[in-house]
Amino acid sequence: MNPSLNASPADGGHGYSGIPRWLYLPAAVGALFVLLPLAAVLAKVNWAQFIPLVTSAASLDALGLSLRTSAASTLLCLVFGVPLAMVLARRPFRGQRLLRAFVLLPLVLPPVVGGIALLYTFGRQGLLGKSLELAGIQIAFSNTAVVLAQAFVALPFLVVSLEGALRTAGNKYEAVAATLGAAPTTVLRRVTLPLVMPGLASGAVLSFARSLGEFGATLTFAGSLQGVTRTLPLEIYLQRESDADAAVALSLLLVAVAVAVVGLSYRKPGRQVGA
Amino acid sequence: MRITRRKTAALVVSAVLAGSLAACSPGGGGSTGSGTVTVYAAASLKKTFTELAAKFEAAHPGTKVTLNFAGSSDLVTQITQGAPADVFASADSKNMTKLSDASLVDGDPVDFATNVLEIAVPPANPASISSFADLAKPGVKVVVCAPQVPCGAATEKVEKASGITLKPVSEESSVADVLGKVTSGEADAGLVYVTDVKTAGDKVKGITFPESGQAANTYPIATVENSKNKELAKAFIELVTGSEGRKVLGDAGFGAP
């Protein structure tokens, strides 16, 4: 399949890919398993109606809302996720493993469960909701609820990517900078963050992508109203009830946006390393 | 790994069992035959149809009723994609028509129940709702079904008939989602079916309103064209549309067609 005629184990070094050939078959099946359903969606698209379907007022509202809320939740993930990853990667403390396990929990939790948990935290009858309502802040059925639901499920992606990058980078340079008299904040700004920038960037992009696809927690916690809380996934879910063509067209739109976002994330780090 | 393997084994065993049960089915005596009848029914029929299925199995020894509950339009999609249903019970005539249009209905569907909307509020009724008009008062957080689903279509009809326009804070995709927002106290009121309020028990308080009569939903039931056991399917439909079915449905809050 991949003949490198003169390559022999003795050549060593350059040409060796380190993969036994029989791996290609299951790898191809794995790739097909992901690609085939996408192809099936493509085959179902009603192309004649595609443009009108994805440019209807409801679709545009949903797309715009999805992009805006996902951007906001990514920002929220950065603001709280970066410090969290730093603490987890650099400062051993009691209960650290436990904390990490809990931070990663939304990765495996069914989103509906996340939605219920958020409801009992920020809802009107919730743990914080009552005090928030006294302060005049209402979260239920608002943009904010959507952003919170998205940030809840997206935060682990940022923390995992960044913590991995921090551990791989090690703290040699940071230690050197510190011995040269740099204050901790300066070290963070001038040494640590530039060092892990690729990991941080891909973590942020993954968070954005996850936010874009958020469905269960939003449905449970935020509700569904055009232009306010009905994001693209919720619009797809609703359209499926009455107009299968619209649901398929919107699915393709969401896939396209997701592919663009993820594609971006896997090009950027490489470029930055080169720069 | 071990768990997965065990699960797989369990799946295989149950598949084999199901297969052998199916293999046993033909040739049984009795006027209505025996075997398995698979009923696809609207989610709102869960409680009543589960009860009726037990009654059916008791009355026809050797038969088994397999139930599948979901939103009516989901069920139509599943059946048109080849799901092995014998009976389809829809929460509205629109979805039954979709199935007839696909030539997947055997004979004519029979209407067997009606359902009307009711206001559901949290037990304490924080917004002091007492009528449909109260739902349109400023500051009242009301949650309804989206017009794309049957309960939302009914809501729209009531709005049109009464001339009262609601400004909902959310339009949900299912009755369960509307109820969830009410029971959790997020919403001051929700519009669901009478039968849903009854099923929810004391988690919500129901408020009936005269305008609901303008938008009664009719539930039709029919044998699916590709059914392998039409005899048994018809027998089940007879039970649902007969006096016993009427009683169970009536107790749950469904109206007569």
Is residue B243 part of an annotated ligand binding site?
no
Neighbours of A239 (CB within 10 A): 25
Nearest Cα of chain B lies from the Cα of A37 at a distance, in angstroms, of 16
Does B191 share its domain with B69? no
Boundaries of domain holding B158: 117-215
* Interchain pair A241, B148: CB under 8 A: yes
Same-domain status, B85 and B131? no
State the pLDDT confidence band at B2, using cuts at 50, 70 and 90: very low
In this structure, the answer to whether residues B90 and B145 fall within a common structural domain is no
Average pLDDT (B163-184) is: 92
Query: Lowest mean pLDDT: which of A5-9, A59-63, A118-122, A201-205?
Result: A5-9
Model pLDDT, residue A140: 85
For the segment B115-131, the average pLDDT, to the nearest whole number, is: 95
Asked if A239 lies within 8 A of B149 by C-beta distance, the reply is no
Q: Do residues A128 and A140 touch, judged by C-beta distance below 8 A?
A: no
Quote the pLDDT of residue A15. Answer: 64
Beta carbons of B36 and B205 less than 8 angstroms apart: no
User: What integer best gives the mean pLDDT of chain B?
Assistant: 87
d(CA B189, CA B144): 9
Of A140, A224, A244, the CB nearest to B186: A140
CA pair distance A234, A214, nearest whole angstrom: 9
- Alpha carbon of A250 to those of A42, A67, A240, B227: distances in Å? 11, 14, 10, 34
Give the pTM: 0.78
Reply yes or no on whether the pLDDT at A88 is more than 50: yes
B149 contact residues in A (CB cutoff 8 A):
238, 241-242
Beta strands in chain B (DSSP E): 35-42, 63-70, 87-89, 105-115, 117-121, 142-145, 170-172, 189-193, 205-207, 217-224
Domain contains B90: yes
Q: What pLDDT, on the 0 to 100 scale, is given for residue A7?
A: 42
In a domain, B181, yes or no: yes
CB contact under 8 A, A241 and B184: no
Chosen for mutation from A133, A228, A241, A242 (greatest number of chain B CBs closer than 10 Å) is A241
Q: B171 and A224 in contact by Cβ < 8 A?
A: yes
pLDDT higher than threshold 60 for residue B28: no
Among A27-41, B26-40, B104-118, name the one with the lowest average pLDDT. Answer: B26-40
Is there a contact between B74 and B42 (Cβ–Cβ < 8 Å)?
no
pLDDT tops 50 at residue B15: no
Q: Which residues pair with B115 in a beta bridge?
A: B217
Q: Which of A42-46, A52-56, B13-17 has the lowest mean pLDDT?
A: B13-17
B193 and B134 in a common domain? yes
**B256 domain-assigned:** no
Q: How far is CA A224 from CA A146, A232, B112, B222, in A?
A: 10, 11, 32, 33
Average pLDDT over residues A268-273: 46
Residue A267 pLDDT class (50, 70, 90 cuts) = low
pLDDT at A131: 87
Residues of A in contact with B71 (CB under 8 A): 241
Q: What is the mean pLDDT of residues B38-51?
A: 93
Question: Is A227 a residue whose pLDDT tops 80?
Answer: yes
Least confident piece of the model among A56-65, A72-81, A264-273, B70-79: A264-273
B40 known ligand binder: no
Hey, are the CB atoms on B141 and A238 less than 8 Å from each other? no
User: What is the pLDDT confidence band of residue B6, given thresholds at 50, 70 and 90?
Assistant: low
Q: At B181, which CATH number?
A: 3.40.190.10
B139 & B85 share domain: no
B246 and B198 together in one domain: no
Average pLDDT over residues A112-123: 91
Do B198 and B134 lie in one domain? The reply is yes
Chain B nearest CA to A142, separation (Å): 9
* Mean predicted confidence (pLDDT) in A195-219: 93
Q: Is the pLDDT of residue B150 over 90?
A: no
Q: B148: pLDDT confidence band, cut at 50, 70 and 90?
A: confident
| Residue B108 falls inside a structural domain | yes
Q: Give percent above pLDDT 90 in chain A.
A: 64
Q: Are residues B104 and B127 in the same domain?
A: no
- Whether B38 is in a domain gets the answer yes
Residues B126 and B201 in one domain: yes
Question: A4 pLDDT exceeds 50?
Answer: no
CA distance B75 to chain A (A): 11
Mean pLDDT of A109-133: 89
Distance from CA of B174 to the nearest CA of A (A): 9
Residue A83 vs residue B30, higher pLDDT: A83
For A225, which residue in chain B has the nearest alpha carbon?
B170
- Output the pLDDT for position A137: 86
Are the C-beta atoms of B194 and B206 separated by less than 8 Å? yes
**Minimal Cβ distance to B177: which of A219, A229, A241:** A219
Nearest CA in chain A to B169: A141
Question: What is the mean pLDDT of the segment spanning B219-223?
Answer: 96
Name B88's bridge partners.
B40, B222
Query: B185 in the Ramachandran plot: left (φ > 0), alpha (ψ -120 to 50) or beta?
Result: left
State how many domains chain B has.
Answer: 2
Mean model confidence pLDDT for chain A: 87
Looking at the fold, whether B141 and B107 belong to one and the same domain comes out as no
pLDDT at position A92 is 84
- Confidence at residue A121, expressed as pLDDT on a 0 to 100 scale: 92
When pLDDT is cut at 50, 70 and 90, the band that residue B257 belongs to is confident
- Whether B95 and B171 map to the same domain: the answer is no
Query: What burial class does residue A75 get, using C-beta atoms within 10 Å of its C-beta: 0-12 exposed, 13-18 middle, 19+ buried?
Result: middle
Considering the domain boundaries, does residue B64 fall inside one? yes
Residue B235 lies in a domain: yes
pLDDT at position A14: 56
Q: How far apart are CA A85 and CA A72, in angstroms?
A: 19
Return the residue of B nearest to A244 by Cα: B77
**Is residue B16, in this structure, part of any structural domain at all?**
no
- Tell me the per-residue pLDDT of B188-207, one tens digit each, with 9 for 90 and over: 999 999 999 998 889 999 99
pLDDT > 90? residue B65:
yes
B102 and B152 both lie in a single domain: no
**A248 φ, ψ (degrees, to nearest 5):** -65, -45
pLDDT at B1: 41
pLDDT in the model for residue B249: 96
| Amino acid B33: pLDDT | 58
What is the reported pLDDT for A6? 44
Domains in chain A, CATH or no CATH each: 48-274 (1.10.3720.10)
**B186/A220 touch (CB, cutoff 8 Å), yes or no:** no
Residue A100 has pLDDT above 70, yes or no: yes
